[in-house]
Amino acid sequence: MLVIRSFDMTDDLLWQEAMRIRELVFIQEQACPYEEEFDGLDHSSTHFLGYWNDVPVATSRLREVNGKVKLERFAVLSEVRGKGIGKSMVKESLALALTMNKPVYLHAQTSVCSLYAQFGFQKTGAPFDEVGIQHYVMTLATPVAL
């Protein structure tokens, strides 16, 4: 069973778990540089931590950027992928973002654009390189019912 909790960096235990997941997924698996992954913006973000059978296995964050809400840092541990955890993390993050009444966007790795499209996100512009991985900017056009 999946349980998702939101938190900020003042909760050190949850922050350490989120960091561990991001290090495994982004730094070890995807070879993202540490200084890019931990960009100094976590303190101004709302974070989410997903627990599968009481074990932390997924994380994401959202933050306000120039009058918009950016969803980012979606990471699911490899051993639990394919169970719908990523989709649930997007749903939970998006639910909070929509309460902020601002445009919502994200930078999606090309391999997961279809996941975000299920929620009403659309590609805007050409693909671009971010830390050696192809991404698209995707904006929320018409949100689907959560």
Place of tokens 């931990």: 38
Query: Does the global pTM surpass 0.85?
Result: yes
User: What b-and-e string marks burial along 56-74, b requiring 16 or more CB atoms within 10 Å of the CB?
Assistant: bbbbbbbbeeeeebbbbbb
In order along its 146 residues, the chain shows pLDDT tens digits of: 999 999 999 999 999 999 999 999 999 999 999 999 999 999 999 999 999 999 999 999 999 999 999 999 999 999 999 999 999 999 999 999 999 999 999 999 999 999 999 999 999 999 999 999 999 999 998 777 77
CA 42 to chain centre: 12
Does some domain include residue 101? Answer: yes
HEC assignment per residue over the chain: CEEEEEECCCCHHHHHHHHHHHHHHHHHHCCCCHHHHCCCCHHHCEEEEEEECCEEEEEEEEEEECCEEEEEEEEECHHHCCCCHHHHHHHHHHHHHHCCCCCEEEEEEHHHHHHHHCCCEEECCCCEEECCEEEEEEEECCCCCC
Does some domain include residue 109? Answer: yes
* Domain span including residue 92: 2-140
Residue 40: what are its φ and ψ, rounded to 5°?
A: 85, 5
Does some domain include residue 146? Answer: no
Does some domain include residue 23? Answer: yes
Q: How many domains does the chain have?
A: 1
The pLDDT of residue 133: 95
Does some domain include residue 135? Answer: yes
Does some domain include residue 52? Answer: yes
CATH of the domain at 23: 3.40.630.30
Of the candidates 83, 93, 91, 35, the one whose C-alpha atom is nearest the C-alpha of residue 61 is 93
